[in-house]
């Protein structure tokens, strides 16, 4: 009869995996993360390109990149805030809010044309769409294979 040894043997050698190996192992998650990442870049970072116009002496014929920088960089901001009506302009923009429209609807001004019920319905539909899309992207996460770590129990 063979005796069992009292030493614990590890069935596999513990190797340290690199970042790229771990990333490759989780490629399904990476693929699912691509859509939100692309949307983030397109809708949040690409519009930042237009902010350069505030700091340049913009000429449409030259484009944004070829236009010269303003001599005092904040020249446009200084010019705006020295304007006597700048406070009124800022107050009007804040009062108008996101539902503002310059269009006249059946003889009514834009402020009168937007009713709170319509705004609430639009917000509800937008929230509903966001919830649905979040489920579309998160439900597949629940179906990823569940892998257990090897147990360290003695045999």
Residue 148 predicted with pLDDT over 80: no
Q: Which of 10-24, 46-60, 106-120 has the highest mean predicted lDDT (pLDDT)?
A: 46-60
- Closest alpha carbon to 57 in 79, 42, 29, 89: 79
Of 117 and 55, more confident: 55
Instruction: Give the model's confidence band at 104: pLDDT under 50 very low, under 70 low, under 90 confident, else very high.
Output: very low
User: Which structure tokens are listed for 47?
Assistant: 């519009």
For 114-138, what is the mean pLDDT?
81
The pLDDT value recorded for residue 38 is: 92
For 96-107, what is the mean pLDDT?
53
The pLDDT value recorded for residue 113 is: 57
User: Which structure tokens are listed for 14?
Assistant: 């513990």
This prediction has a pTM of 0.36
First to last CA, the chain: 17
Q: What is the dihedral of CA 93, 96, 98, 103, to 10 degrees?
A: -110
The pLDDT tens digits of the residues spanning 47-70 come to 887 788 888 888 889 888 888 888
Of 14 and 27, more confident: 27
């Amino acid at each position: 009869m063979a005796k069992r040894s009292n030493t614990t043997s590890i069935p596999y050698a513990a190797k340290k995996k690199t970042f790229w190996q771990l990333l490759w192992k989780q490629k399904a998650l990476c693929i699912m993360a691509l859509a939100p990442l692309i949307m983030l870049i397109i809708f949040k970072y690409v519009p930042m390109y237009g902010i350069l116009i505030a700091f340049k002496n913009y000429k449409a014929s030259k484009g944004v990149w070829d236009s010269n920088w303003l001599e005092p960089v904040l020249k446009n901001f200084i010019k705006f805030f020295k304007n006597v009506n700048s406070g009124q302009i800022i107050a009007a923009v804040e009062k108008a809010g996101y539902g503002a429209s310059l269009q006249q609807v059946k003889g009514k001004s834009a402020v009168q044309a937007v009713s709170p019920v319509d705004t609430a319905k639009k917000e509800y539909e937008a929230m509903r769409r966001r919830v649905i899309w979040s489920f579309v992207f998160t439900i597949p996460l629940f179906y990823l294979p569940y892998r257990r770590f090897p147990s360290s129990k003695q045999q």
